[in-house]
C-alpha cells in the first residue's frame, strides 16, 4: 500500500512547464474595460492599470486613446460607431454607420490599434434572418477598409437572456453565419 501511495504521489508531482505555463511574467495579457470603471478618471485608471500590469484599457473612443498611450498602454478593442441597441441590423443606420466605421478603422490603424467593435443592434421585432442579411450588407462594405488597414472588426455577441434583452447577435450560430456571409 505504501508503494502505491508513493507511486501516486510521484505521478502527482508537477512536470516541468514552459515559462508561459508556469505563469512567468508576460504569459498573460491583462486589460480592463473602461465602462466597468467609468467613475474613475481615465488618466488615473490608466496610471494605476499600468502599475498593476495591465496592457490595455478597452472600449475607448479616439479622443481617449492618447490618455492611455501616454501611460504605456494600448486600447486593444476600440469603440466603433455602432451602439448596442442601434447597430448594423437596420438599413436606415447604414448611411451613417458604414462610413463611420470605415473612418474609425482608419483612425485605429493610424493609432496602431488592432481591433474595433461593432454591434448588431436590438431586434425590436425584426426577424433574425433579415437582421443577419442587413449586417452582412454593412460589413461587406466595411471589410475592405479593415483588410487594407489590417484592423479586425469584431461583432459583439451578448447575452440577451440575462442583461442585453432583445440584442440580435446573441448566440454563436448567428455570429458564425454572419462571418460566413461576409
Domain ranges of the chain: 30-76, 80-182
Name beta bridge partners: 126: none
The answer to whether 119 and 131 have CB atoms below 8 angstroms apart is no
Contact 153, 114 (CB under 8 A): no
CATH code of the domain occupying 80-182: 3.20.20.150
Q: What is the pLDDT of residues 130-160, one digit of tens each?
A: 999 999 999 999 999 999 999 999 999 998 7
Q: What is the tens place of the pLDDT at every residue in 55-87?
A: 999 999 999 999 999 999 999 999 999 999 999
Amino acid at each position: 500500500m505504501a508503494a502505491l501511495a508513493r507511486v501516486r504521489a510521484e505521478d502527482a508531482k508537477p512536470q516541468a512547464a514552459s515559462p508561459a505555463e508556469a505563469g512567468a511574467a508576460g504569459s498573460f495579457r491583462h486589460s480592463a474595460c473602461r465602462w466597468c470603471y467609468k467613475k474613475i478618471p481615465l488618466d488615473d485608471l490608466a496610471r494605476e492599470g499600468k502599475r498593476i500590469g495591465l496592457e490595455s484599457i478597452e472600449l475607448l473612443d479616439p479622443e481617449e486613446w492618447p490618455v492611455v498611450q501616454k501611460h504605456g498602454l494600448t486600447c486593444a478593442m476600440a469603440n466603433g460607431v455602432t451602439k448596442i441597441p442601434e447597430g448594423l441590423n437596420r438599413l436606415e443606420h447604414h448611411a451613417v454607420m458604414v462610413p463611420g466605421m470605415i473612418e474609425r478603422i482608419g483612425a485605429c490603424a493610424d493609432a496602431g490599434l488592432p481591433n474595433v467593435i461593432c454591434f448588431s443592434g436590438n431586434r425590436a421585432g425584426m426577424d433574425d434572418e433579415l437582421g443577419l442579411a442587413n449586417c452582412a450588407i454593412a460589413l461587406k462594405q466595411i471589410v475592405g477598409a479593415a483588410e487594407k488597414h489590417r484592423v479586425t472588426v469584431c461583432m459583439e455577441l451578448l447575452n440577451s437572456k440575462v442583461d442585453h434583452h432583445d440584442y440580435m447577435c446573441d448566440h454563436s450560430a448567428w455570429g458564425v453565419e454572419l462571418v460566413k456571409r461576409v
